[in-house]
Chain A
Amino acid sequence: MTTAITPLKTSFLPSSTAASKQLTSPSTLRGTRRRCGNGVRIQAKIREIFMPALSSTMTEGKVVSWVKSEGDKLSKGESVVVVESDKADMDVETFYDGYLAAIMVDEGGVAPVGSAIALLAESEDEISLAKSKAIDSGSSSDPVESQSQPQATIPEPEAPKVTLVMDSASVSVVSMHPAATAERVVASPYAKKLAKDLKVELRSVVGSGPMGRIVAKDVESAAVNGAPSPAPVANSNVRVSVDAGIELGSTVPFTTMQAAVSRNMVESLAVPTFRVGYTIITDALDQLYKKIKSKGVTMTALLAKATALALVQHPVVNSSCRDGKSFTYNSSINIAVAVSIDGGLITPVLQDADKVDIYSLSRKWKELVDKARAKQLQPNEYNTGTFTLSNLGMFGVDRFDAILPPGTGAIMGVGASQPTVVASKDKRIGIKNQMQVNVTADHRIIYGSDLAVFLQTLAKIIEDPKDLTF
């Protein structure tokens, strides 16, 4: 299958690419575009080759391989690059004759749909010019500093309850939307309906749908995370610095994140919770882990995957109650995993953990942790969790009790897996690795027996983990 690229810059294409660090449009070009507004094309006879949308759901594409190399002559209709979409690999061809002047996204790199991945020069003379442009763009590609301030979408500090604090990363997501101007918000019909029902101001919601559109789950998570989200601390000006030493006897005001955590914790008291524990034998899981560790699989991903697979069979444990009158069976299983970062706590989310394979899940986890450390998580990457995992096992903690994050139905605390002397049913004594898990759940919607059968399923999956690597 081949698809034609549009090499021309269209006026609404993404101008900021913070979401994907590999790639930016040249800042000079960006400036031009901003001033000129709609319809004005760049004067130079250097065209940009863009990441095409190969399917309706594709938001970013991976460059699998470049069919042509820099300096090659291209003629109209020739394949230039192979792009992997969310569905398939496709040859992408050019509409114009010219020379492939500069490749801006190397093989293996990912770029959002509509962003430049290469430059096409009309004549050989312009190749060097194009190259320098590409280099310019590379050097000015600090994603964080890319126009975060002038966005009209940044809410007032005392914005309504459901407003999300936006860091630069999330703002640039907004600007990725073709039509996300100050007056326009693009939201799907159901998202609009939900926003009305849940009293969420759409303008303050960050869209995660195709082309940045706001979809239902964005509104849901905005409603759940009513309080300003704790995660992006880019704007926190007070930070507890361990290096500076803690001054004993001093009183320190909360950072933004701490304040948010505090609010959430107090809010959690309104939910009647209870706990159910279970001991799971992990020998088989440990063995599997050893076997596939070299492929980049992490224990966190394995646990998240196992939990997600168990949740598939027990949707009630993946449900949430928002209004005290009804509850929602969440359509996706998004496992939030608590991570402690400098000065706080954040829960990056492994979305659709039941569907994504273990290798992709592990890669995704690594990416999320990196982003969390760099404080670049986007709201949909930390506030869309439907079930939370908290693992203190690595510190040797054998059991603990977690507080249920508001807006979710359950959280599971995972203790360390330890060799234990176990008497088996056939009256033998042996040593097995055992791990204790403890689930805290909202008893308005999830009952003891729900958790019991869920944990039974989870134990079965972990004790016979062949399904984890399908």
Chain B
Amino acid sequence: MQASISISSCSSSFAPVAPRFVGPPALSYSIGQHRFFRLRKEAFGFCSLNQPCSIPIHEYRMRNRLPGMKITASVSSNGSPSMGFDYDLVIIGAGVGGHGAALHAVEKGLKTAIIEGDVIGGTCVNRGCVPSKALLAVSGRMRELQDEQHLKALGLRVSESGYDRQAVADHANNLASKIRGNLTNSMKALGVDILTGVGAFVGKQKVKYGKVGFMDTEITAKNIIIATGSVPFVPNGIEVDGRTVFTSDHALKLEWIPDWLAIVGSGYIGLEFSDVYTALGSEVTFVEALDQLMPGFDPEIGKLAQRILVNPRKIDHHVGVFAKKITPAKDGKPVIIELIDAKTKEPKDTLEVDAALIATGRAPFTKGLGLENVNVETQRGFVPVNERMEVLDANGNVVPHVYCIGDANGKMMLAHAASAQGISVVEQVCGRDNVLNHLSVPAACFTHPEISFVGLTEPQAREKAEKEGFEISIAKTSFKANTKALAENEGDGLAKLIYKPDTGEILGVHILGLHAADLIHEASNAMAMGMKVQDIKFAVHAHPTLSEVLDELFKSAKVNVAAAVPQPEAVAV
């Protein structure tokens, strides 16, 4: 086993350090012999190479952290473990969440291992955000080339547009491998131990890993993060054959382009795929259980999205219905989808289509984790956690040293949220209390145009306002008034701000329009930093840029705080 924890693969400027351990030496020492600290130049002044710290460096830092001292960035190789443990931190699952946690942990000097049973990068990189962005890049260009009116308005003439399905699929696949490579290399370069196999709890602070059925390597860790992610959720009654009835996993391979594709679920996954497939020539039918399409979005944004992204396209929809049974195409029959009324459960309709994409959400992947060995019961598969991502046992008490981040805890099923949660956990492990404000985590849907949001939707804000007795106000700006958007001839879109008029606190921002996914960060950063509308109003935006949509938005908000500074007029350049 020791052999497997080999010498870390740091590349340059090594400085051997043999930390002195007070505890049982056998295990720790043998590791210590092979382990190196890599110190960046800026660290030299702080910690002499010849005077190894007498305690593991991360603890040293925690105890001696001086305000303003930039020590944390100084150590970029995997640390040495705490007393009696193989690792300071073991992360089960090398998706975006696990990766983010691992990187931050190494930066903090924790000796870190990551266990991955499938592929590095997890869903996002291999079967999710990343390859879908490649397909959406293609669909966006296809749309531009197919939009004759748009081209004509710009004075462009394109005689013919077409695509090579396999080449498009290859682009997505190549991108995934490239990003996967980047992720793997970044962890290797920092010396994170990548342990191959599936991991499971054996007991307190003890994990085993290996191939399924041969999980016979046991390691101990001071802290353990569960980051096992999720898999596409397929409701009962739906038979997935991977060819005519499939999930996003298969759809991303783009093995064929059906003439008629039913998409079950109109959340952001379904919406993105409708963008891809309609651009490539499919016609799409949405099947949505709730009474409106895109139920997760702010209703106003959802309505506009329907007007821009659904109605003008070759898409129709059935809302308020469940797909009770879906049978794959075979024996000359098409894919058959039996719809029932979502409320009365009465049979409503039957669809016959060429293919069906199941985009009904994602289910946590937490089976076989040995959670019973640490007295944890999953709830609908999710690992229960508190706001600090600390795992809770059956009685609601914190299980010490066990954390769960990302899709597996179900708090916010977004790759970057998982990563942020991971970083928050590492901060706590290092002794700094940290609670991630999920309301400042942005989300985006990469349709053409894009949709993004952060914080509360209008109904959520109104509910909260009523409960807590405060007022809210809404400000809106349109992309039609933005010079850059008009230059692109892409004036469709809306930005919406929900705020407290008395304090200027930003409660939510929603954007539908060109590059909305990139624009949202001004709002999410402001929220994360606690900036008020009246503060951000004075920030200057380059002209002409799309970011002026947000500039206008903040400026149009009416805050009743007695303004200390007179508001400058917007100056036209």
Please report A residues at the B interface, Cβ cutoff 8 Å: 4-6, 10, 12-13, 50-53, 56-57, 113-114, 178-179, 186, 188-193, 209-211, 213, 215-216, 315, 329
Shortest distance in angstroms between B346's beta carbon and chain A's nearest beta carbon? 16
A60 to B45, CA, bound (A): 80
Q: Say yes or no: A178 contacts B315, CB within 8 Å.
A: no
Q: Say yes or no: B260 contacts A52, CB within 8 Å.
A: no
Residues of A within 8 A of B333 (CB): 10, 12, 53, 114, 178
A320 to B258, CA, bound (A): 27
Q: Say yes or no: A193 contacts B258, CB within 8 Å.
A: no
Query: Which of A4, A13, A178, A193 has a CB less than 8 Å from the CB of B352?
Result: A178
Nearest CB to that of A329 among chain B residues?
B148
A193 to B244, CA, bound (A): 24
Given contacts A189-B283, A189-B315, A190-B283, contact A56 B332 (CB under 8 A): no
CB pairs A–B below 8 angstroms (6 shown): A6-B332, A50-B331, A114-B333, A188-B260, A189-B314, A213-B352
Query: Which of B159, B331, B350, B354 has a CB less than 8 Å from the CB of A56?
Result: B354
CB proximity to A under 8 Å, residues B300-354: 314-316, 329-334, 350, 352, 354
Q: Say yes or no: B334 contacts A210, CB within 8 Å.
A: yes
B112 contacts chain A at the CB level, 8 A cutoff: no
Query: Which of A10, A186, A191, A192 has a CB less than 8 Å from the CB of B331?
Result: A10
Q: Report which residue of B259, B283, B330, B331 has the largest number of chain A beta carbons within 10 angstroms of its beta carbon.
A: B331
B285 contacts chain A at the CB level, 8 A cutoff: yes
Shortest distance in angstroms between B559's beta carbon and chain A's nearest beta carbon? 45
Residues of B within 8 A of A53 (CB): 329, 331-333
A216 to B244, CA, bound (A): 22
Residues of A within 8 A of B314 (CB): 188-190, 193, 216
Q: Say yes or no: A56 contacts B352, CB within 8 Å.
A: no
Shortest distance in angstroms between A213's beta carbon and chain B's nearest beta carbon? 7
The 3 A-B residue pairs with the shortest CB-CB distance, nearest first, are A6-B331, A190-B314, A189-B316
Residues of A within 8 A of B354 (CB): 56, 210
Excluding A188-B283, A193-B314, A213-B352, 10 further A-B contacts by CB distance (< 8 Å) are A4-B331, A56-B355, A178-B352, A188-B314, A189-B260, A189-B283, A189-B284, A189-B315, A190-B314, A211-B352
B256 contacts chain A at the CB level, 8 A cutoff: yes
Residues of B within 8 A of A52 (CB): 331-332
Q: Report which residue of B329, B350, B352 has the largest number of chain A beta carbons within 10 angstroms of its beta carbon.
A: B352
Nearest CB to that of A313 among chain B residues?
B159
Shortest distance in angstroms between B207's beta carbon and chain A's nearest beta carbon? 45
CB proximity to A under 8 Å, residues B200-237: none
Residues of B within 8 A of A209 (CB): 259
A190 to B333, CA, bound (A): 21
Nearest CB to that of A61 among chain B residues?
B332
Nearest CB to that of A52 among chain B residues?
B332
Given contacts A189-B285, A213-B352, contact A56 B316 (CB under 8 A): no
Q: Say yes or no: A56 contacts B244, CB within 8 Å.
A: yes
Nearest CB to that of A326 among chain B residues?
B149
Query: Which of A56, A178, A213 has a CB less than 8 Å from the CB of B258?
Result: A56
Shortest distance in angstroms between A202's beta carbon and chain B's nearest beta carbon? 12
Shortest distance in angstroms between A56's beta carbon and chain B's nearest beta carbon? 5
Shortest distance in angstroms between B318's beta carbon and chain A's nearest beta carbon? 11
Q: Say yes or no: B332 contacts A50, CB within 8 Å.
A: yes
Residues of A within 8 A of B355 (CB): 56
A366 to B175, CA, bound (A): 50
Shortest distance in angstroms between A362's beta carbon and chain B's nearest beta carbon? 27
Shortest distance in angstroms between A153's beta carbon and chain B's nearest beta carbon? 18
Residues of B within 8 A of A50 (CB): 331-332
A215 to B244, CA, bound (A): 19
Nearest CB to that of A113 among chain B residues?
B332
Residues of A within 8 A of B258 (CB): 56
Shortest distance in angstroms between A282's beta carbon and chain B's nearest beta carbon? 28
Given contacts A53-B332, A192-B316, contact A186 B283 (CB under 8 A): no
A210 to B333, CA, bound (A): 10
Residues of B within 8 A of A179 (CB): 350, 352
Residues of A within 8 A of B259 (CB): 56-57, 188, 209-210, 215
A178 to B332, CA, bound (A): 10
CB proximity to A under 8 Å, residues B248-296: 256, 258-260, 283-285
A210 to B260, CA, bound (A): 10
Residues of B within 8 A of A189 (CB): 260, 283-285, 314-316
Residues of B within 8 A of A4 (CB): 331
Q: Say yes or no: A178 contacts B285, CB within 8 Å.
A: no
Residues of B within 8 A of A215 (CB): 259
Shortest distance in angstroms between B306's beta carbon and chain A's nearest beta carbon? 14
Residues of B within 8 A of A113 (CB): 332
Nearest CB to that of A211 among chain B residues?
B334
Residues of A within 8 A of B256 (CB): 56
Query: Which of A6, A12, A57, A211 has a CB less than 8 Å from the CB of B330?
Result: A6
Shortest distance in angstroms between A58's beta carbon and chain B's nearest beta carbon? 8
Residues of B within 8 A of A51 (CB): 332
A178 to B353, CA, bound (A): 12
Residues of B within 8 A of A213 (CB): 260, 352
Per-position contact with A for B349-388: 1 when CB-CB < 8 Å, else 0? 0101011000000000000000000000000000000000
A210 to B355, CA, bound (A): 12
Shortest distance in angstroms between A443's beta carbon and chain B's nearest beta carbon? 20
Shortest distance in angstroms between A138's beta carbon and chain B's nearest beta carbon? 22
A6 to B329, CA, bound (A): 12
A52 to B259, CA, bound (A): 19
A50 to B332, CA, bound (A): 9
A4 to B330, CA, bound (A): 9
Shortest distance in angstroms between A120's beta carbon and chain B's nearest beta carbon? 15
Shortest distance in angstroms between A198's beta carbon and chain B's nearest beta carbon? 15
Q: Say yes or no: A186 contacts B352, CB within 8 Å.
A: yes
Residues of B within 8 A of A192 (CB): 316
Q: Say yes or no: B329 contacts A56, CB within 8 Å.
A: yes
Shortest distance in angstroms between B244's beta carbon and chain A's nearest beta carbon? 7
Shortest distance in angstroms between B242's beta carbon and chain A's nearest beta carbon? 14
Shortest distance in angstroms between B41's beta carbon and chain A's nearest beta carbon? 61
A12 to B334, CA, bound (A): 11
Residues of B within 8 A of A190 (CB): 283, 314
A211 to B316, CA, bound (A): 20
CB proximity to A under 8 Å, residues B431-461: none
Nearest CB to that of A190 among chain B residues?
B314
A404 to B352, CA, bound (A): 39
Q: Say yes or no: B334 contacts A178, CB within 8 Å.
A: yes
A186 to B262, CA, bound (A): 14
Nearest CB to that of B316 among chain A residues?
A189
Residues of B within 8 A of A56 (CB): 244, 256, 258-259, 329, 354-355
A113 to B315, CA, bound (A): 27
Shortest distance in angstroms between A57's beta carbon and chain B's nearest beta carbon? 7
Nearest CB to that of A50 among chain B residues?
B332
A143 to B332, CA, bound (A): 22
Q: Report which residue of B256, B260, B285, B314 has the largest number of chain A beta carbons within 10 angstroms of its beta carbon.
A: B260
A191 to B352, CA, bound (A): 14
A189 to B311, CA, bound (A): 11
Shortest distance in angstroms between A237's beta carbon and chain B's nearest beta carbon? 38
Residues of A within 8 A of B332 (CB): 6, 13, 50-53, 113-114, 211
Shortest distance in angstroms between A239's beta carbon and chain B's nearest beta carbon? 40
Q: Report which residue of B285, B332, B333, B334 has the largest number of chain A beta carbons within 10 angstroms of its beta carbon.
A: B332
Shortest distance in angstroms between A3's beta carbon and chain B's nearest beta carbon? 9
Q: Say yes or no: A193 contacts B316, CB within 8 Å.
A: yes
A10 to B334, CA, bound (A): 13
A129 to B331, CA, bound (A): 26
Nearest CB to that of A177 among chain B residues?
B352
A5 to B159, CA, bound (A): 44
Residues of A within 8 A of B315 (CB): 189
Shortest distance in angstroms between A424's beta carbon and chain B's nearest beta carbon? 33
Nearest CB to that of A179 among chain B residues?
B352
A409 to B148, CA, bound (A): 19
A222 to B185, CA, bound (A): 60
Shortest distance in angstroms between A354's beta carbon and chain B's nearest beta carbon? 12
Residues of B within 8 A of A6 (CB): 330-332
